[in-house]
Structure 1
Amino acid sequence: MAADQPTLRTLLRRRDLGLHLVSTDEELPAESLERPLRWVHSSDLADPTPFLAEDLALLTTGTQFDDTADIDAYVARLADRGVLGLGFGTDVYRAGVPDELVTACAARGMPLFEVPYRTPFIAVARAHSEAIAAQVYARRSWALDAQRALALAALRPHGLDAILTELARRLGVWTGMFDAAGSLMHGHPRDAIGPASLERLADRVGDVLTRGLETGQSLTLDDRTFMLFTVGRGGNLRGVIALASDTLDPEARSVVTSVIAMAGLALEQSEQLARSRRRLHAQLLRSLLADDPTLPRRVLGSLPPAPIVVAVAGDAPAGPLADWWERHRVEHGTAVFLAESDDGVTMCVSASDEELLDEAAERFGIRIGVSAPETYAAFSRAHAQAQTALRQQSAAGTARYADAVGTSILAALATDEARLVAESRLAPLREHDLQTGGQLETSVRVWLEHDARAEAAAESLGVHRHTLRSRITQAGGLLGIDLSSFPARAELWALLQTARD
């Protein structure tokens, strides 16, 4: 929020100065008298522009305007330099304002005003200086009053929400607080920003948090500018405060800085409580894994209604994930139990809320294994199911145990250790094929796929059945197993299915 600075119109309204605007409204661009005026300077030089700054008003008595002066060029130089207005002191060197000056200023849209003989130029400059000092004092008083109001707001229930609401009122702009997960925690006024703009703003906030940026930045959405300020330290950002404003003067920025500090402290205290709560939940998880929900119910008061699904998330951000579930609990009444352990983040929800696990996986880009619906008496089994499903999920998203058991038992047993054993057992066979260009491994695989029927397998391979039988005997010899028995054939099939091709 920019401060209201003194303007040329402010100066012209001072009755004690007796200034008179010569230019008419038709000659001046819109808002030409409303631009902030930096200073008032006086000069009778033919070309004072090397000594002028932008956004000031120039006062002159016109001694430089002799018969040869090019007044139009003079005004053009002032306009190009950024002078906001020209004051002409009458009855000092000339009576009245020269018509040529009136015409030149009208052509350039330069506000021209008369300074009467009784008003010294220094009085005009001093009046503007006093206006600037009054404006600075007013802004500092505003900042002090705002700081006091924010300190009182911090003492109210839900202090962080109260602080943000007070900040919005003091700045007169929409103010929002996003948590570490990039979701809106609080916004005031509530309906000042449309849902579509809020969604896009949340996306940009999420990007800021992902990149770990600490500095404030501005962005424009739907012709509306927002300023973003991160809360917390790099690598441990707690959230983002967003203001629907394109600029802040130093006093307003100091107030926002105070709010950032207050928000950081409040979130740090909340995080300490959250860590304590997570430690408690980790202990309660042990009781649930013993298939006994009695202690968790006594401590927490309630658990998600059965039937339940248990989910385990790998490499999940426990804090933001817990905050996300907490918002669902507050806004929608969703019951959830969440705890951390060496296996990852365990989540327990009612089977009717299972689709929220898909939403969480997408929101945080994490892997989640989900059990089949169970009762609390089978919590440990559901937890094991979730872990099994998680191991089969290589990319972000959810994997359900019900889908995992639809595959073969060999696929479920294909661990890295099992693959290593299988490849070691098949090594003699593969080494033979590599050295001789043979097809023993392919032959036994096709033979087993045809239920050890030589004629059908030989036809599939395009060889004679006696050739195939010879290959099977040779393969059994290399592997040291008798392939005439079913257990040996079953073991070889398991080795072929488990080993990498």
Structure 2
Amino acid sequence: MASTLAPPLLPTLRRLLAQPGLQLRLLTAEPALPTHALDQSVEWVHSSDLADPTPFLSAGQVLLTTGTQFAETTTDDYYRDYVHRLTARGITCLGFGTEVVRAGTPDALVEACLAAGLPLVEVPYDTPFIAVARSAGDLVAELRYARNTWALEAQRAISHAALRPDGLSNILSELSRQLGRWVGLFDAGGALDRVFPRDVFSGADASPALPRVQAEAGRLLRRGHRAGTTLEQDGETLTLQTLGRRDQLRGVLALGDGAELDQASQQVVTSVIALAGLALEQNSTLDRARGHLRSGLLQALIGGDRPLVQSVSGELWGALPAEPVRVAVVAPPPERLDALAELLELRVEESPGHLFFAREGRQILLVVDLAAGPLLDDLVGFGLHVGVSDRSDYRTLPHAVAQARQALERAREGAAGLVEFEVISRQGVLAFLARTDASEVGRATLRPLSDHDAAHGTALLTTLRVWLEHNGQFGPAAAELAVHRHTVRARIGHAEQLLGRDLGTFHARADLWAALLAAD
């Protein structure tokens, strides 16, 4: 990753020590300190002579002391404990002011700092602590001004990038360059659309973050609300932000390979989110025009004018799916129609010739080839009910559409999922009729038996079901119920009396079987 063009957030310890007017002297040699110890950020400078000042300090600060808390008889262990408390708190550096309480810096303190890897500097008598604090404050203010200036320049560069051909790619590439971190765009379906630098997820130095970022992008899109989040992955801070309007999300912008964004960086990212959202909205307007064309072509295809549809589709999206095809129908919430249409447009671009789709009212009809299983699974993953027809050719496409809609109605009876018409046809006509509003009729038909069983502890209803399942044969029914066949015969006779029906007729048996299905 190329180095960032943005100035740092905070001054480093090395820069503070280099201020000529302070005359600070490093007592712990740099080679003996941990790598980059002098390149740590300095958040502020604080002074205290308390034996334990850590409750009043925060990580990234420089602590100055005159050593009042140390006596001539102070032991080495005391110094080590003192330094340990500072390093545990995350102090960047310890400064010792000499000639105020004692001459020079205690050797035991130097040794304790070396052992703990804590930079120790000597502050001469002529340098007041307030001068060190003021110098650090000036550096912080200087960098803050520099970052604000950078933010304005970065936004200007990104605005110019938006005017070039393929403005969306150019603004993302410019954002990556300005922040010095990778920038990715995930489409409305949660797939990685583009990333800058382009090789960030390939090669020996590839970022391992893609699977987790993609999963989180998919989660944000499925929620359907504008949102942002940050993740931690192997020490890398990942930032994600949805693009588009509420319930009409166009994608997710992802930033990686860096610390959490500060205010100046966030301003730059916000400008990119606005520009990217605008670009995606403009693409959406074009997609809606394409959608109207698709709807007209679908009607022509169902009407049998396949040559016309094949000609237009071939020019715009590629060939129609090869026969045999299946029809799938989904009915997403109205606020998600646009987002789903965009997802399907992307799938057409990725795999032309495998999918043709169009809106029809509040539904979306898909004509797919036999390799479209993963696409249909994606629709279920977005919390949708999907109805799928049997295999068909284009000549019988209207029948396939009717099958898919019947399958969709069945799918809507449960949680989000996919139902194939083949499943319905295997269950038979009675099973289909029983899934309409016949449940109350079925329960009323069987109530004489259920009421008798409840009142007398009998098993007439169960016996009737098992007997019908065995085609009215008493022997097999008795074997399953573990009773004598004469017991089954007596129960069926009793049921005939309660129901007022002759169960020796096919009509009565079929009617009661349908009632059992409906009651279930």
TM-score normalised by the shorter chain: which range applies? 0.7 to 0.9
Distance 1:184 1:322 in 2: 17
| Residue deviations 1:331-375 (CA, integer Å, cap 9, x gap) | 333532223335733111123x23234432453243322222222
2:424 aligns with 404
Distance 2:132 2:492 in 1: 114
Structure 2 vs 1, CA of residues 116 and 416 (structure 1 numbering), >3 Å: closer, same or farther? closer
> Which secondary structure state, in structure 2, belongs to the residue aligned with residue 417 of structure 1?
coil
2:326 aligns with 309
Distance 2:377 2:192 in 1: 17
> Which secondary structure state, in structure 1, belongs to the residue aligned with residue 437 of structure 2?
helix
Cα deviation for residue 148 of structure 1 reads 1.3
Structure 2 vs 1, CA of residues 146 and 436 (structure 1 numbering), >3 Å: closer, same or farther? same
Distance 2:134 2:210 in 1: 47
1:250 partner letter: Q
| Residue deviations 1:385-404 (CA, integer Å, cap 9, x gap) | 11233334444443322343
Structure 2 vs 1, CA of residues 443 and 294 (structure 1 numbering), >3 Å: closer, same or farther? same
Distance 1:111 1:446 in 2: 86
Cα deviation for residue 171 of structure 1 reads 1.0
Distance 2:27 2:475 in 1: 113
| Residue deviations 1:70-101 (CA, integer Å, cap 9, x gap) | 799899879849472426578xx89xx94444
2:147 aligns with 139
Query: Are the counterparts in 2 of residues 328 and 334 from structure 1 also a CA contact under 8 Å?
Result: no
2:276 partner letter: A
Q: Within 5 Å, which residues of 2 pair with 1:228-243? A: 228-232=240-244, 237-243=249-255
2:268 aligns with 255
Structure 2 vs 1, CA of residues 368 and 215 (structure 1 numbering), >3 Å: closer, same or farther? closer
Cα deviation for residue 384 of structure 1 reads 1.1
From 344, 351, 354, give the equivalent of 2:363.
344
2:287 paired with 1:274: yes
2:486 paired with 1:463: yes
Distance 1:270 1:359 in 2: 26
2:26 paired with 1:21: yes
2:183 aligns with 175
Distance 1:266 1:178 in 2: 14
Query: Are the counterparts in 1 of residues 434 and 515 from structure 2 also a CA contact under 8 Å?
Result: no
1:406 partner letter: R
Query: Are the counterparts in 2 of residues 56 and 85 from structure 1 also a CA contact under 8 Å?
Result: no
Distance 1:126 1:465 in 2: 100
From 315, 329, 333, give the equivalent of 2:348.
329
> Which secondary structure state, in structure 1, belongs to the residue aligned with residue 14 of structure 2?
helix
Distance 2:40 2:217 in 1: 33
2:230 paired with 1:207: no
2:195 paired with 1:187: yes
Structure 1: any 5+ residue segments left out of the alignment?
A: none
Structure 2 vs 1, CA of residues 453 and 377 (structure 1 numbering), >3 Å: closer, same or farther? same
Distance 2:107 2:285 in 1: 70
2:378 aligns with 360
Question: Percent sequence identity over matched residues?
Answer: 36
**Which range is displaced more, 334-343 or 245-254?**
334-343
2:387 aligns with 369
Structure 2 vs 1, CA of residues 409 and 456 (structure 1 numbering), >3 Å: closer, same or farther? same
Q: Which has the larger radius of gyration?
A: 1
Structure 2 vs 1, CA of residues 433 and 28 (structure 1 numbering), >3 Å: closer, same or farther? closer
Structure 2 vs 1, CA of residues 189 and 371 (structure 1 numbering), >3 Å: closer, same or farther? same
2:160 partner letter: L
> Which secondary structure state, in structure 1, belongs to the residue aligned with residue 326 of structure 2?
strand
What TM-score does the superposition give when structure 2 sets the normalisation length?
0.74
1:258 partner letter: S
Distance 1:162 1:435 in 2: 78
2:52 paired with 1:33: no
Query: Are the counterparts in 1 of residues 224 and 246 from structure 2 also a CA contact under 8 Å?
Result: yes
1:333 partner letter: P
Cα deviation for residue 380 of structure 1 reads 0.9
Cα deviation for residue 175 of structure 1 reads 1.5
Query: Are the counterparts in 2 of residues 105 and 111 from structure 1 also a CA contact under 8 Å?
Result: no
Distance 2:172 2:193 in 1: 11
Structure 2 vs 1, CA of residues 75 and 14 (structure 1 numbering), >3 Å: closer, same or farther? farther
Cα deviation for residue 454 of structure 1 reads 7.9
Query: Are the counterparts in 1 of residues 240 and 254 from structure 2 also a CA contact under 8 Å?
Result: yes
Q: Within 5 Å, which residues of 2 pair with 1:98-177? A: 98-109=103-114, 111-113=119-121, 128=136, 130-177=138-185
2:422 paired with 1:417: no
Structure 2 vs 1, CA of residues 423 and 74 (structure 1 numbering), >3 Å: closer, same or farther? closer
> Which secondary structure state, in structure 2, belongs to the residue aligned with residue 243 of structure 1?
strand
Structure 2: any 5+ residue segments left out of the alignment?
A: none
| Residue deviations 1:428-462 (CA, integer Å, cap 9, x gap) | 66667767777776676666666667898899862
Cα deviation for residue 379 of structure 1 reads 1.4
| Residue deviations 1:201-247 (CA, integer Å, cap 9, x gap) | 22233334445675543222244331223334655544332221232
2:393 paired with 1:384: no
